[in-house]
Structure 1
């Protein structure tokens, strides 16, 4: 009897490795897998139905990576399958963005069989030098864990530990799946034990000490405030943040990357803090505070309006996933989740100053204006009046991402943007993944994207149609790359684009009755569209060409672009 058969007989409830992997993905909440087929992953794709997973099938690997990113931001984790070499490298920009912004994606790469790799065969999709490990090394730097599934004896263990790392650390992981390993037998009884996705417990004595230090400063503060950023979302402490906001009564602010982290209809919510780009009245309250509880901060240039924060570390307590910093004292190996829970339980009554009033009222100059031109100052408060609770709102890096700062969200809205990585065209690919996840949860998906950005990833409209998704997509038609113009080259040809007939692109992708399109050039037209019941029911994909002036932009974008231009010099 062959040794492989003996090994299989020794297994309890043997199951094929690919099925094991996909059943684990289903267990953590994934219901659809993004990617592009290739000869080294085709056999693995046959196993998706056995795990009740749907195959999305994207137009290219980069878009698939963006889509997996958007799906993960709604469902908590996602999966991407590419083929060896050409496929995985095409997705690397999207994976790097997910790593940068703490988005958990399980990236599975179909590889040549293990014997071909050992023999260094001259196969297609290689560099022609017999090195089959070179692409894995490229991905290792933008993955928090790498699992090479080359031995059936440890493959199941590697899968379990890698998916756990993806969830707990909220970053991409990389799994290789050679073609012959697809059929390798592993112990199926392991599937009876759910993956342990719990965070490592803080040392109780150390945690209590940190809590006491935090409370000493918090209870003595005269005007403390809360500032919530992206990592509060990524590292799953929104329940703790909600409890802190409710129990403390403190004015609560979000950063641009933290939009959607707190209920913006709550009486404590005071708006967006981003240095000089803050909402009206916010900068004064935050920067005059004698104690800022900063939760999950990412102090990047676009998140701070060009590094225009004016808050010192002496008045700040930083809460993170792996440490807490109280003023200038840092406490490593302490997760903020446990600390925040105990702070809420023990804090008692605090001093609280009033929060600025945040609403979607138009600025005075826009109220008095008789113009029909759609400007950013007018648009974003109007968008806030139109949005519904639990909407998923995506904004592309550029005018939309900065404009949404001036929109007060209804309760339960999820905001998706790529403020730190800022890959142009990200949001349209991400919209496909987010819309799929939102459809699974019964939520509406809305995208605001510029005409230039749309041209990079427009193919994903095809994927949306194929999967019968129904996002509402606003393409801001303002003649090119506005954010780039503000940084450099106002009239340069490289910031211009070829005008497209966006409204009819879905038809070119084969849509018949599966979409609706609109061209909106005035304020009255947009108000009427927002009031249209059939538009708001979002039964099909809807694409809106939204015409805005070439030289108009949110004030925060202008400030940030000016700072970027100065640094570039």
Structure 2
């Protein structure tokens, strides 16, 4: 059938499950935006800048499966590139569409704005090639084929892709076939060999464990992994990148694993395991306690999206999904002993004792009990992420963090995307003052969309996570002290969100009670001294200091 290039692209995006496109209007994408407004089933969500748009699409994709961003050429592309790189590092599928100058300008190397005025139209494309799994510049002759190639890549590899869309081709008519089917297929013989190796390792193991990383979210493997562990009684642990992907209760749940940063019982179990089924595991500094992981020699069974490494052999040509299905089926006919267990995780932390002074430790204990089943919890890099990674979260919670790319400011716009992806759920954001100042503009967008979110602004007078590493008293770790609790009223006076400024346990109790009763935006600023931090941050700071600078210093606190 015939259709316009713009309509073809929107139809392909809807077919993938995209229903929101985040971005900023620019003169090279306006005609495409006009088409979006006329197209049912897909909406444009305007953000305050392109960086925030890509962060929002990232948050959306983590809950909805895929995200999309629309920017204008050059200035918009490079503004959002850091967030796109973060999505690539963390395994988040995004489609980035750039409205670029018209084809006649590209072909004539015209010196137009939003370029370097040198006739070069390849430099931005070359930038994106470093951080995406596929790129394309559409033209009428190959627009459909190139669109399908790029969108097949985002489906198969589950990382960002990039499409340049010249401004003058939106309504050009082309032949549009049905979208192609994308399904990675395993080689049957290689799959059988791989599954046989994994089954043999599990069935012979005295102490197997499954270790999960972000691949489980990235490729939609939650149900398969949970079924494998619960059916055959195999304990599992999660890296920080995979918290809440599987239920964090029950006899199989061990806890979070991060090398020396793990709870002692979890670290001991994983270290003693004779079969570690590692699902997409990457031991990054920030997820491994600065490379302090200890896996017994020969214990690792390394399952990646399209390969298995086991017993010194690497097998390609398979998918992790097919491998898990085959292993599950084969284990059902194998007699195996039930694995050893460790003691169940400790009971939830008790509320802070009456009369305890104001500090981060009692604050985090109290807000942990504020969280409810099925909440979406987002935590920014620093104090907030450290606290939430040590927290016991209620059943059904989703924790969104970015420990690999670790960009401060990610969490606020990511919360916007998460709120729009799952408006039926309550959202809770924890963000420090330094992170907040990076992307504060998107608070106005949360208010405009009447998001159901409670925001805890941790005001500790600057970059506490950096103070823990180096320079606890140094001016470079200080920031301007805004009147944070006044900002919601400034950004949207008509909606009158609930705001609180908290500096004691009594004030916190009042704020939590009122926030729990109010559906909508709640903004709670909590004040701490600069070196007050959650448990574990000082130890982490020392590990970073040793690794980055090769020095040990006296206690920074």
Same fold? TM cut 0.5: yes
Cα 1:131–1:502 change in 2 (3 A) is same
Specify which of 436, 447, 450 is matched with residue 420 of structure 2. 436
Cα 1:327–1:538 change in 2 (3 A) is farther
CA contact (8 A) 2:37 2:43 kept: yes
Cα 1:351–1:370 change in 2 (3 A) is same
Q: Which residue of 2 aligns with 1:519?
A: 501
CA contact (8 A) 1:40 1:84 kept: yes
Q: Could you list the runs of 4 or more consecutive aligned residues of structure 1 that deviate by over 6 angstroms after TM superposition?
A: none
Specify which of 486, 491, 494 is matched with residue 504 of structure 1. 486
Specify which of 169, 172, 175 is matched with residue 184 of structure 1. 172
User: The residue matched to 2:141 in structure 1 has which SS?
Assistant: helix
What's the CA shift for 1:145? Answer: 0.6
Q: Which residue of 2 aligns with 1:4?
A: none
What's the CA shift for 1:412? Answer: 2.3
What's the CA shift for 1:255? Answer: 1.1
Q: Which residue of 2 aligns with 1:278?
A: 262
Specify which of 156, 159, 180 is matched with residue 168 of structure 1. 156
What's the CA shift for 1:280? Answer: 4.6
Segment drifting more, 385-394 vs 468-477: 385-394
Specify which of 44, 47, 69 is matched with residue 58 of structure 1. 47
User: The residue matched to 2:544 in structure 1 has which SS?
Assistant: helix
CA contact (8 A) 2:148 2:179 kept: no
Specify which of 460, 463, 467 is matched with residue 442 of structure 2. 460
What's the CA shift for 1:24? Answer: 1.7
Residues 104-155 of structure 1 show CA distances to partners (whole Å, capped at 9, x for unaligned) of 11000001111111111111111111011111111111110112101x2321
What's the CA shift for 1:300? Answer: 0.7
What's the CA shift for 1:334? Answer: 2.4
What's the CA shift for 1:238? Answer: 0.9
What's the CA shift for 1:554? Answer: 3.3
State yes or no: 1:351 paired with 2:333. no
CA contact (8 A) 1:273 1:283 kept: yes
Cα distance in 2 for partners of 1:546, 1:327 equals 52
What's the CA shift for 1:537? Answer: 5.0
CA contact (8 A) 2:273 2:296 kept: no
Cα 1:259–1:461 change in 2 (3 A) is same
Cα 1:525–1:352 change in 2 (3 A) is farther
What's the CA shift for 1:549? Answer: 3.7
Gaps in structure 2 of 5+ consecutive residues: 550-557
Structure-2-length-normalised TM-score: 0.94
CA contact (8 A) 2:468 2:541 kept: yes
CA contact (8 A) 1:263 1:410 kept: no
Specify which of 408, 428, 431 is matched with residue 392 of structure 2. 408
Cα distance in 2 for partners of 1:481, 1:390 equals 31
Q: Which residue of 2 aligns with 1:450?
A: 432
Cα 1:313–1:257 change in 2 (3 A) is farther
Matched residue pairs, number? 545
Cα 1:444–1:350 change in 2 (3 A) is farther
CA contact (8 A) 1:380 1:406 kept: no
Q: Which residue of 1 aligns with 2:303?
A: 319
Cα distance in 2 for partners of 1:537, 1:143 equals 43
Cα distance in 2 for partners of 1:319, 1:45 equals 42
Specify which of 247, 253, 258 is matched with residue 269 of structure 1. 253
User: The residue matched to 1:294 in structure 2 has which SS?
Assistant: strand
Specify which of 50, 72, 85 is matched with residue 83 of structure 1. 72
Cα 1:18–1:289 change in 2 (3 A) is same
Specify which of 136, 144, 153 is matched with residue 141 of structure 2. 153
Cα distance in 1 for partners of 2:142, 2:201 equals 49
CA contact (8 A) 2:426 2:453 kept: yes
State yes or no: 1:222 paired with 2:206. yes
Q: Which residue of 2 aligns with 1:373?
A: 358
What's the CA shift for 1:40? Answer: 0.5
Cα distance in 2 for partners of 1:333, 1:565 equals 42
Cα 1:381–1:241 change in 2 (3 A) is farther
What's the CA shift for 1:194? Answer: 4.8
CA contact (8 A) 2:511 2:524 kept: no
Residues 288-319 of structure 1 show CA distances to partners (whole Å, capped at 9, x for unaligned) of 22221111212111111211111145111121
What's the CA shift for 1:384? Answer: 3.6
User: The residue matched to 1:181 in structure 2 has which SS?
Assistant: coil
Cα 1:254–1:137 change in 2 (3 A) is same
Gaps in structure 1 of 5+ consecutive residues: 1-11
Specify which of 67, 72, 76 is matched with residue 56 of structure 2. 67
Specify which of 310, 313, 318 is matched with residue 334 of structure 1. 318
What's the CA shift for 1:568? Answer: 1.9
What's the CA shift for 1:556? Answer: 3.4
Cα distance in 1 for partners of 2:179, 2:105 equals 35
Cα distance in 2 for partners of 1:164, 1:51 equals 23
State yes or no: 1:564 paired with 2:544. yes
Cα distance in 1 for partners of 2:383, 2:12 equals 40
Q: Which residue of 2 aligns with 1:207?
A: 191
